[in-house]
Structure 1
């Protein structure tokens, strides 16, 4: 819900007088019903507070009048201060889902872990998975989350559920990525939760990779390139 609320409030006045985090929280919650504010703290800029909402970060003037949606850049050293904090928030959100709600392909001794939002019927997702052994050989642990781009109720959505409900999820996912239609089954599944998190992360295409530092890499990244990038983080 917050995904749709906050981008509409760029520079919108809240028309309240607030000088403390608890007062800012009350003002924001009053004007943004349904939004869950995780934290409010002073930002690097005097007079501007940092507001964390799930994997999102916003800025509010200390009088509670203005809310800004954007990245805070330190021009002196060309550092994106917002992105560094967003990365931590993404990792925290993934931790909340937990590996028990993901399909994992892991080497014996992982050097890095990536979380990949995938669509069974996406061509580049299939290309990514066709090289899964190469990723594992590079020491990269792959944690899959489902994001059927056609949406809830689509064939890709039902395939994702069927894969999750199969006896051997890894084998079933591999077969589905190779074009086989999984035996349609239903059970308790995390697909909707995966999709909601993907929306929060702003996923627009698949695969979308989240590195172990919380960085987002949109699109297909070959094994050698991914290993090199992860090693340079």
Structure 2
């Protein structure tokens, strides 16, 4: 067995911040009232995190890059038959990769519709004024009902998958996402996780946060 660094620190911090923020969004959106102020703030935070992950998917650590977990249909089929290559079980597996891309896409759509949603009471997204009333109505309906349900289902499936790997396949996915290291039966590259790469991640996150701030201020300026 080989102990390698699979998840760099920026990827791990992103993962746990996103998980906490999404749970917070579900709770604050369900409670409503004054908690909607926090719902908006958490929505902006999630958008900044998603933008960061999109960038980090190209310049991040070895196993965090999209190129490392974009699999051919044949690789997915082999994995489902239990004949997948050992290196495909180091980072995101072929099945896990589908879950990651689905969650990123659904969250982007959810945040995007939130920016143009209006509850017709006291809260509305900062970009409402840039789209038609019909678009606002469609976005609001999706954001409050369909999108929220899809996210809850995906989160439940994610938790079930973690439990399956823990109790059936005897693989602790949570531990590796906490400490970054994982024991694997094949010699593979370590993820880059240096002080320089962490500083780069901080700069990227700052730029993403600045972009979201500008986007929100653009809507509030009119």
Above 0.5 in TM-score? no
Larger radius of gyration: 1
Q: Which has the higher contact order (CA 8 A, sep 6+)?
A: 2
TM-score (norm 2): 0.27
Richer in strand (by share) = 1
Richer in helix (by share) = 2
